């Protein structure tokens, strides 16, 4: 068997996974673990941990104690603003559903999921409640040896911290001609959606759909559907969800799920 | 690890001579050699694709493309030096990731796939991955909160110890120490628990 004791993995594994290992060393390490059970097993183990960590909720109470108070306060304020914004949209955009929302809001114990009053036998869900507000997962493409656009890199670092204003600011520096433009527009659009700037979000996401057949086009279509849902525009949401589904990519399952939940004949606003 | 007792356990460590024999057998049209090739390279190729993309869905998409492209290339005799098999497969994997990110193609370059390719679906080791994922969860849960956060900031957010130290109001040396300790701990946990629970002993040794 290989007489490796795991030394190469000890030395290279973490920088290799973070893509900070120089190209030559990365290739050397790859060639090694292609034939070394010990190092490959370590790589697989740390990759599994990395994936699970990336999917865990970021803001565990114990963890927040280590964050600066200002960041904590900013997060709370942003969350309140978001909640406030979505409540405002639901009150103003769709008068027909507005009445139901008010009824639910004024009932002291009933939440949005509470059963409707007897007078309204079938209450359709408020469309904005269907919207998927999760940040799409992003890791820099990590094609080693390639220069990464510094604006994109800065923007995506901010994105990893869910710092939407900084993300939008940095990604706006990526020019339309840059090959990374669709990617930059996509994540800008998602952040603008989180910031509550829906018109700019829609405009930016549309700019990400210019490259047909790409993952960005699919993701942008999906998030354009989310913007439409936040605006309670079921018809437009259906349109974009169908576009996302037609790409048969990562968002297909989620898009199909949402499409099933949007009532048919939803008016276009 | 797989709990399927019928699963073939293939030694991972191959000498260059063994790789050479494998390449020559594939060139001669030996289908069993192709199957052996797939079993031998599926894990390291998956590991590399995941390390490059950090995206399990993309990795699953590209894995079979890479294996098929590699087998087709070997059949066509495109590997001049059979002793460089590892580098050859690695390059195909890297190209697949590059192609994906540069949008030149989302499908493998080969258009007309041969009918007699080995069925790779059964070899993807999904159960192994699932179990590793479960063990990873246990490993993460076993960490102290501070260590978990350091690991998250290192692996997920890509921060260096200096930055983590500022974020967490810790000494950078403490961060480095805790990071190394946490990485070692989770790797050992996943590996050791995986070996304990495995009903199939790992066979190690050179290929005859």
Query: To the nearest whole angstrom, how far is the Cα of A208 from the nearest Cα of chain B?
Result: 14
pLDDT at residue B13, rounded to an integer: 55
Whether A227 and A202 have beta carbons less than 8 Å apart is answered as: yes
Q: A137 vs B45, which has greater pLDDT?
A: B45
pLDDT at residue A177, rounded to an integer: 79
Whether A159 and A167 have beta carbons less than 8 Å apart is answered as: yes
Handedness of CA B200, B204, B206, B208 (dihedral sign): negative
pLDDT at residue B122, rounded to an integer: 61
Report CB contact under 8 Å: A56, B152.
yes
CA A86 to CA A123: how far, in whole Å? 19
- What average pLDDT does this structure show over A114-128? 48
Kindly provide the ipTM of the predicted complex, given to two decimals.
Answer: 0.73
pTM (2 d.p.): 0.49
CA A87 to CA A106: how far, in whole Å? 13
Query: To the nearest whole angstrom, how far is the Cα of A202 from the nearest Cα of chain B?
Result: 23
pLDDT at B134 over 60: yes
- What average pLDDT does this structure show over A77-81? 72
Give pLDDT tens digits for B35-94: 888 888 999 999 999 998 888 888 888 898 899 899 999 998 888 888 889 999 999 998
Which of A45, A212, A252 to mutate to test binding with chain B, by most B CBs within 10 Å of its CB?
A: A45
Report CB contact under 8 Å: A46, B155.
yes
For chain B, what is the radius of gyration of the CA atoms?
20
pLDDT at A265 over 80: no
Whether A255 and A225 have beta carbons less than 8 Å apart is answered as: yes
pLDDT at residue B55, rounded to an integer: 84
- What average pLDDT does this structure show over B143-167? 85
Q: What residues of chain B lie within 8 A of the CB of A159, using their CB?
A: none
CA B80 to CA A217: how far, in whole Å? 39
Handedness of CA B25, B26, B29, B35 (dihedral sign): positive
Q: What residues of chain B lie within 8 A of the CB of A180, using their CB?
A: none
pLDDT at A122 over 70: no
- Give A160's pLDDT tier (boundaries 50, 70, 90): confident
pLDDT at A112 over 80: no
pLDDT at A241 over 80: yes
Which residues does A146 contact at the CB level (< 8 Å), separation at least 6? Answer: B98
Please give the helix or strand (H or E) that residue B120 lies within, else none.
none
Report CB contact under 8 Å: B55, A139.
yes
Q: A23 vs B10, which has greater pLDDT?
A: A23
CA B201 to CA B127: how far, in whole Å? 16
- Give B106's pLDDT tier (boundaries 50, 70, 90): very low
Query: To the nearest whole angstrom, how far is the Cα of B155 from the nearest Cα of chain A?
Result: 6
On average, the pLDDT of chain A sits at: 73
pLDDT at residue B118, rounded to an integer: 67
pLDDT at A223 over 90: yes
CA A187 to CA A135: how far, in whole Å? 9
Q: What residues of chain B lie within 8 A of the CB of A66, using their CB?
A: 146, 149, 167-170
Q: Which of A48, A251, A14 shows the shortest CA–CA distance to B125? A: A48
Neighbours of A101 (CB within 10 A): 17
- Give A81's pLDDT tier (boundaries 50, 70, 90): confident
Whether A39 and A9 have beta carbons less than 8 Å apart is answered as: yes
pLDDT at residue A224, rounded to an integer: 92
Among A31, A49, A214, whose Cβ lies nearest the Cβ of B186? A49
CB pairs under 8 A between A and B: 165
Among A1, A13, A14, whose Cβ lies nearest the Cβ of B205? A1
Report CB contact under 8 Å: B158, A52.
no
Which of B54, B87, B206 to mutate to test binding with chain A, by most A CBs within 10 Å of its CB?
A: B54
Which residues does B60 contact at the CB level (< 8 Å), separation at least 6? Answer: B124
Report CB contact under 8 Å: B13, A51.
no
pLDDT at residue B141, rounded to an integer: 83
Least confident of A22-36, A117-131, A162-176, A211-225: A117-131
User: B124-160 burial, b for 16+ CB within 10 Å, e for fewer?
Assistant: bbeebbebbbbbbbebbeebeebbbbbbbbbbbbbbe
- What average pLDDT does this structure show over B105-119? 56
Please name the residues between 169 and 188 in chain B that touch chain A, using a CB distance below 8 Å: 169-170, 179, 183, 186-187
Please name the residues between 136 and 175 in chain B that touch chain A, using a CB distance below 8 Å: 136-137, 139-140, 145-146, 148-149, 151-152, 154-158, 167-170
Which of B187, B190, B207 to mutate to test binding with chain A, by most A CBs within 10 Å of its CB?
A: B187
pLDDT at residue A96, rounded to an integer: 41
pLDDT at A187 over 60: yes
B206 touches chain A (CB under 8 A): yes
Query: To the nearest whole angstrom, how far is the Cα of A255 from the nearest Cα of chain B?
Result: 16
CA B24 to CA B28: how far, in whole Å? 6
Q: A223 vs A251, which has greater pLDDT?
A: A223
Which of B155, B165, B177 to mutate to test binding with chain A, by most A CBs within 10 Å of its CB?
A: B155
pLDDT at B197 over 70: no
DSSP one-letter code for A150: H
CB burial class (10 A; 0-12, 13-18, 19+) of residue B91? middle
Query: To the nearest whole angstrom, how far is the Cα of B75 from the nearest Cα of chain A?
Result: 21
- Give A37's pLDDT tier (boundaries 50, 70, 90): confident
- What average pLDDT does this structure show over B134-149? 85
């Amino acid at each position: 068997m290989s007489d490796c004791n795991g030394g190469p993995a000890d030395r290279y594994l973490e920088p290799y996974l973070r893509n900070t290992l120089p190209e030559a060393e990365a290739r050397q390490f790859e060639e090694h673990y292609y034939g070394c059970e010990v190092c490959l097993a370590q790589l697989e183990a740390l990759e599994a941990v990395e994936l699970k960590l990336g999917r865990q909720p970021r803001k565990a109470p114990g963890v927040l104690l280590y964050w600066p108070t200002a960041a904590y306060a900013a997060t709370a304020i942003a969350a309140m603003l978001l909640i406030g914004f979505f409540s405002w949209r639901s009150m103003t955009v769709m008068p027909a559903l507005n009445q139901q929302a008010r009824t639910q809001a004024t009932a002291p114990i009933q939440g949005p999921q509470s059963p409707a009053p007897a007078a309204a036998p079938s209450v359709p869900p408020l469309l904005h409640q269907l919207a998927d507000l999760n940040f799409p997962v992003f890791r820099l493409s990590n094609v080693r040896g390639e220069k990464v656009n510094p604006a994109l890199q800065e923007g995506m670092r901010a994105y990893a911290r869910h710092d939407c204003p900084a993300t939008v600011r940095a990604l706006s520096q990526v020019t339309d001609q840059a090959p990374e433009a669709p990617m930059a527009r996509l994540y800008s659009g998602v952040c603008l959606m989180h910031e509550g700037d829906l018109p700019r979000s829609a405009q930016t996401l549309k700019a990400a759909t210019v490259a047909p057949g790409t993952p960005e086009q699919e993701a942008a279509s999906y998030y354009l559907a989310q913007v439409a849902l936040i605006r309670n525009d079921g018809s437009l949401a259906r349109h974009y969800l169908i576009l996302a589904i037609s790409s048969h990519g990562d968002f297909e399952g989620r898009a199909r799920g949402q499409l099933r939940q949007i009532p048919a004949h939803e008016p276009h606003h | 690890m797989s709990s399927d007792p019928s699963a073939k356990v293939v030694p991972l460590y191959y000498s260059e001579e063994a790789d050479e024999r494998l390449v020559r057998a594939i060139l001669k049209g030996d289908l069993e050699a192709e199957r052996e090739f797939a079993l031998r390279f599926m894990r390291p190729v998956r590991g590399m694709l995941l390390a490059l993309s950090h995206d399990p869905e993309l990795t699953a998409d590209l894995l079979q493309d890479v294996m098929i492209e590699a087998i087709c290339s070997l059949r066509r005799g495109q590997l001049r030096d059979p002793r460089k098999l590892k580098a050859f497969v690695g390059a195909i994997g890297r190209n697949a990731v590059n192609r994906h990110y540069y949008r030149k193609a989302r499908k493998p370059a080969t258009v007309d796939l041969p009918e007699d390719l080995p069925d790779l679906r059964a070899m993807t080791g999904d159960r192994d991955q699932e179990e590793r994922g479960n063990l990873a969860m246990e490993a993460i849960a076993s960490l102290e909160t501070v260590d978990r956060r350091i690991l998250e900031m290192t692996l997920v957010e890509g921060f260096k110890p200096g930055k983590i130290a500022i974020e967490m109001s810790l000494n950078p040396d403490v961060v480095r120490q805790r990071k190394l300790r946490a990485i070692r701990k989770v790797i050992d946990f996943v590996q050791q628990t995986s070996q304990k629970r495995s009903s199939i002993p790992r066979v190690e040794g050179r290929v005859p």
